[in-house]
Amino acid sequence: MKNKIEIIAEIGVNHNGSIKNAKTLVNKAKEAGADYVKFQYFKSKLLSTDYAKKAKYQYLQTKKKETQLEMLKKYELNIQDLKKLKAHSSKKKIKFLVSAFDEETLLELNKLKLSVFKVPSGEITNIPYLKLLGSFKKKVILSTGMSNFKEISKAVKTLLESGLKRKNLCLLQCTSNYPTKISDANLSVIKKLKKKYKTKVGFSDHTTELETPLFAIFYGAEIIEKHITLNNKDKGPDHKASLNVYDFAKMMKMIKNLDLSYGKSIKKANIEEIKNSYVVRKSIVAKINIKKGEKFSFRNLTCKRPGNGLAPDKLYSLIGKKSPKDFKINKQINLK
């Protein structure tokens, strides 16, 4: 394609608190061909009060009686865990990306010398957070789930006024429901975001369909983020809104094939088409036996396969001219 589509394999909390699972998911994302793996870095007590309720999808996919704080504690990674995962990702030659959820974790992540920061949708109205992030002057990918244009505009303005360059900002169309119905993907807004904010735009996909990212690319998405899991039946808030490693690989192949099919916007026959044209196109041939000196006419000329002789578009220029030699029926007309 004109611009390479970058794929983020969103591991998020699908490691279920296990570094071993996290490393396996990094390996699988790399094998599938993803450009990035992404994790979440949060400290439960900084993220949630002890009375915050879980979202409906979280309630359905985790223990019924626990609070959001109790749920989050199970999936916490500390900064040492992230250092190990960053090193492992580097070893596997796949880029490492993390979402932070507050200023304290942002500052810690900045010490890891990350080149790109991902803002989760829930922080799009967190102005102190955005001001700090903008001051880092690093590349930023901002998810826009649960927001409107007014909120997006304020977030973009905050980041830019804090030091971020517009060329280093990417907005992701996102619907924050897990999983998202494909009818709620709202992909047409991708073009509107690109036109309105003059930034790179992508799609954070929470549908369970493999083909939704292809539709997003058609609408202009340059980055695709998709959740990946080892098993959709695992207990945890995001497994059911993720693709298992096998389906993730299938999706990657579909995107690669889309890329291969794009071409160069130049219409011309390739080598195989040229070979086929000799078989399926036609040449001017004698409709009946033609004597030397006889005038060519529609009575004695026609067009038949193969197409390796005088092309049919030359037929009208022959009409009325004298034949330079004898031609038997079905013989290709050659004036030389």
CATH code for the domain defined by 6-261: 3.20.20.70
Spans of the chain below 70 pLDDT: 1-3, 63-64
**Quick one: pLDDT at residue 65?**
79
**Quick one: pLDDT at residue 119?**
98
- What are the CB-based long-range contacts (under 8 Å, 24+) for 250-256? 250/210, 251/32, 251/210, 251/213, 251/226, 252/7, 252/32, 252/33, 252/34, 254/210, 254/211, 254/213, 254/214, 255/5, 255/7, 255/213, 255/214, 255/217, 255/224, 256/33
Question: What rounded mean pLDDT belongs to the chain?
Answer: 95
**Quick one: pLDDT at residue 53?**
87
The single-letter code of the amino acid at 310 is: L
- The C-alpha atoms of residue 151 and residue 142 are separated, in whole angstroms, by 12
Q: What are phi and psi of 77, to 5 degrees?
A: -115, 140
Let me know the angle formed at the C-alpha of 275 by 271 and 277, rounded to the nearest 5 degrees.
115
**Quick one: pLDDT at residue 261?**
87
Architecture of the CATH domain 268-336: Alpha-Beta Complex (3.90)
Range 165-188 burial, b when 16+ CB lie within 10 A, else e: eeebbbbbbbbbbbbbeeeebebe
Helices (H), the chain: 19-32, 44-47, 56-61, 68-73, 79-91, 103-110, 127-136, 149-161, 189-197, 212-218, 245-261, 271-280, 315-318
The per-residue pLDDT for range 182-213, each reduced to its tens digit, is 999 999 999 999 999 999 999 999 999 999 99
**Quick one: pLDDT at residue 127?**
98
Output the CA–CA distances (angstroms, integers) from residue 238 to 35, 95, 139, 223, 329, in the order listed.
21, 22, 26, 20, 74
Domain limits, the chain: 6-261, 268-336
Query: Whole-model pTM?
Result: 0.86
Q: Are 227 and 238 in contact (CB under 8 A)?
A: yes
**Quick one: pLDDT at residue 63?**
67
- The C-alpha atoms of residue 240 and residue 244 are separated, in whole angstroms, by 9
- The C-alpha atoms of residue 336 and residue 136 are separated, in whole angstroms, by 75
**Quick one: pLDDT at residue 215?**
97
**Quick one: pLDDT at residue 3?**
63
Output the CA–CA distances (angstroms, integers) from residue 165 to 95, 139, 204, 328, in the order listed.
21, 8, 22, 75
Token code pair at residue 208: 């369970």
**Quick one: pLDDT at residue 2?**
53
**Quick one: pLDDT at residue 181?**
96
The per-residue pLDDT for range 26-85, each reduced to its tens digit, is 999 999 999 999 999 999 999 999 999 887 878 777 766 788 898 999 999 999 999 999
Asked whether this chain's domains 6-261 and 268-336 adopt the same fold, the reply is: no
